[in-house]
Structures are given as C-alpha cells and as structure tokens.
Amino acid sequence: MTDNIPQLTTFDEPALNGAFATLAAEVREASASLTTSDAQENFRLHWLGRKQGRLKLISDAWLKSAPAEAKKALGIRFNQLKQQIEEAIESGAVATAKSGATQEIDISLPGQIRQPGIAHPLLSTMHEVVRVFHHLGFSTSLGPQVESDFYNFEALNFPPNHPARDTQDTLQIAGQQSRPSRDRLLMRTHTSPVQIRTMIAQAPPIRIVIPGKVHRNDAADATHSPIFHQIEGLCVDTNITFSDLKGTLDYAMKALFGSAVKTRFFPSFFPFTEPSADVQISCIFCGGTGCRKCKHSGWIELLGCGMVDPAVFAAVTAERRKLNPDDDAYNPEHITGFAFGMGVERIAMMLHGVSDIGHFYSGDMRFLEQFA
Ligand SMILES: [Zn+2]
C-alpha cells in the first residue's frame, strides 16, 4: 500500500497544484464505474477507510514531511479532495437507485400471489368444540400455563402425596424449595385450575368452557405428547343434576359428530368429581356395527366427566372466605355442578383420520396444507 503513495518533496504552490490535480484525476477516473452499491462501498473503503484509506495514508505521509508553513494549504486541499470523493459516492448512489427503480417495477407482470393462512387443525377443532358450547350459553375462560400446586392439585382434591398425582406427573419450575408446597409452581397438567380461579373470582351461576395447552411427563408416541390441548367445561348453579350433564354432553356430541351419534356413560374416577364417568360415543366410522377404528366394539371413548366434588367447593369457599368471612356462595347444600374434559388432539385425530399425534406439532407443510 505504502508503495502506491505518491512522493511529494517540495511544498510550494505549483508542486501542490500538480500533486492534487493528479489525485483529483485518479478519483474522477475511478468514480466513472460506481454503478452498483458494491462498487460504491469498495470505492469508499479504498479512499476513505479509517485506517488504510488512501486519503488517510497520503495525508499522513505528506503532512509528516511538510514544513510547518505548508500544512494549512495541505489541509485545505485534502478537505477539497475528500469532498470530491464523497460527492462521487453520492451521485453514484443516486444513479443506482434511479436505474434500480425503473428496472424492478414492471406493472405488466403478474403480481405475487400470497398463500392465504389457515387455522392449525388443532385450533380449528378447539374453535369448533367451543362454538358448540357457546350455543348452549357457556362462555370461554382462560388461565396461565404455569400454575401453583394449589390451583393445579390441592384445590382439585389431589392432596399432597396422594397417589392420584402420579397419573399427572409434570415439569416443576426450579428453585421453589423454600416456598410452601401450595405455592410451588409447575406446568399445569389440565385446564381444571381455571375452574378454581373462576369460582374463587365469581359466585354461581357459572357456565364456562376452558380451552388450553397442558403439560404432562408423558413419553411421546403415536397417541401421547408431553404437551397437548384440552377443553374443559364447568357448570355450577342451583339444581344442577347428573341428567343436566348427560343432556349437555349428548347434545354437544350430536352437534359435533352428527345427530345419529349415541352416548353412553361408565363409572370412572377423578379426584375432583363424584360421581365420575367416562363417556363413549357410538363409532362415527361404522355407526356402531364394529370396525378397526373402534376396535370392533362399536364405541369410542372420548370424555371424562362428573358432578363437582363437594371437597372442591370446600377449597373454593376457604379461599373466598379469606376476602369475605361470611361467604357461602359455594355451599354444597344449595348448589351443585358438573364438569367435563376432553383432549383436543384425540378429537382432531378422529375427525381427520390422523394416525400419529406428532404430525400436529411437526410444522410439516405437506400435512398442514391438507386442512386448507
Ligand atoms: Zn367403528
């Protein structure tokens, strides 16, 4: 680089005129080809680079050997040269922008067609189920995915160390050991904590559906995933009976799967409902005569449900009495309720004939496009 630095030995007016005329010519020549932004950037680095720029190298060399009285004249001329370089870059950039503008827009070409987005099959299934319950007068409630042990387990009648907790093992948030067990945070294992939150916040009557994401310590396979989606429902009022539960779910299943669908209820167990039931619907593929999808039984298990356990109302009442010691809104002598829950993935898999739950989370367009 230093080899290319022109030498200047005399600093009188004619010498400076000659030397700067040569440099100005060099800049002019190089600036003739600044037609792309790359070329402009290279030109700028070559001349104005802060450490190895040609302008800096030359001015350093010349100012060092110049006598004191010539330094001012040199400084003025270097400033003029710098201005000439900057103008060359500027006019190159303007020219590039202009020619680019005329080249890139051709209004006779067809426009770019944007693919319309669609709801993910899990979301659309969730919306479909929620819509059925909206028609029955239910509203939607949502809650946090990071929950406290109290809302996720204790208030729902899973006492600490109760074996029922084993069925809903989940991720615990780290660093909670110093907290009382009811305040420790975890990823919620069901959407039921929102039932508790809603009842603590408002008195009956309550009719809500709760769609949402839940987490469990399940190994992923064709039908299990450590993260999945649930829709739960809760109805609390005076004179709510098991018949109301049966009628509501029977109506909802017919609305979802067709009016020919039948439902039947089997005794089951959930800590937060008593009595509890599993609900089966007649097979939507064979109409109940038996096929591979229903394992030749004619029935498909789809929901869990039951009457709200009085222990749940007691937990809610204890919380409400912290704010109002006389609160008696959830006295099980006066009010009753039912709750139900279903897995969104299971319904979506059944409706669309999806054989592996993993497809829903893969983000594979070949799979998702089929729902467009
Ligand atoms: Zn069948």
357 C-alpha to center of ligand 1: Å?
20
222 C-alpha to center of ligand 1: Å?
20
On the question of pLDDT at 133 being above 50, the answer is yes
Give the per-residue pLDDT at 100. Answer: 59
The per-residue pLDDT for range 248-263, each reduced to its tens digit, is 999 999 999 999 999 9
Give the per-residue pLDDT at 103. Answer: 62
Q: Which residues have a Cβ under 8 Å from the Cβ of 281 and sit 6 or more positions away?
A: 253, 257, 261, 262, 263, 299, 300, 302
Q: Note residues around ion ligand 1 (Cβ under 5 angstroms).
A: 283, 285-286, 291, 293-294
The per-residue pLDDT for range 199-236, each reduced to its tens digit, is 999 999 999 999 999 999 888 888 889 999 999 999 99
Q: What is the rounded distance in angstroms from the CA atom of residue 87 to the CA atom of residue 27? A: 11
pLDDT above 90 coverage of the chain, percent? 55
Q: What is the rounded distance in angstroms from the CA atom of residue 247 to the CA atom of residue 119? A: 30
More confident residue, 105 or 41: 41
- Alpha-carbon distances, residue 300 vs 254, 265, 288, 322 (angstroms): 14, 11, 9, 44
Please tell me whether the overall predicted TM-score, pTM, comes out greater than 0.75 for this model.
no
Give the per-residue pLDDT at 104. Answer: 66
Q: What is the rounded distance in angstroms from the CA atom of residue 187 to the CA atom of residue 68? A: 77
116 C-alpha to center of ligand 1: Å?
35
Q: Are strands 139-140 and 206-215 parallel, antiparallel or unpaired?
A: parallel
281 C-alpha to center of ligand 1: Å?
10
On the question of pLDDT at 66 being above 50, the answer is yes
pLDDT above 70 coverage of the chain, percent? 98
The per-residue pLDDT for range 157-189, each reduced to its tens digit, is 998 888 888 777 888 888 888 999 899 999 999
Give the per-residue pLDDT at 96. Answer: 76
On the question of pLDDT at 125 being above 60, the answer is yes
Q: What is the rounded distance in angstroms from the CA atom of residue 32 to the CA atom of residue 275? A: 89
The per-residue pLDDT for range 305-323, each reduced to its tens digit, is 999 999 999 999 999 999 9
362 C-alpha to center of ligand 1: Å?
28
Q: What is the rounded distance in angstroms from the CA atom of residue 348 to the CA atom of residue 125? A: 6
Q: Specify the 3-state DSSP secondary structure of 10.
A: coil
290 C-alpha to center of ligand 1: Å?
4
300 C-alpha to center of ligand 1: Å?
8
Residue with tokens 């802060």: 50
261 C-alpha to center of ligand 1: Å?
12
Give the per-residue pLDDT at 50. Answer: 87
Q: Specify the 3-state DSSP secondary structure of 234.
A: strand
284 C-alpha to center of ligand 1: Å?
7
282 C-alpha to center of ligand 1: Å?
8
Find the helix or strand (DSSP H, E) in which 209 lies.
Answer: strand 206-215
The per-residue pLDDT for range 269-280, each reduced to its tens digit, is 999 999 999 999
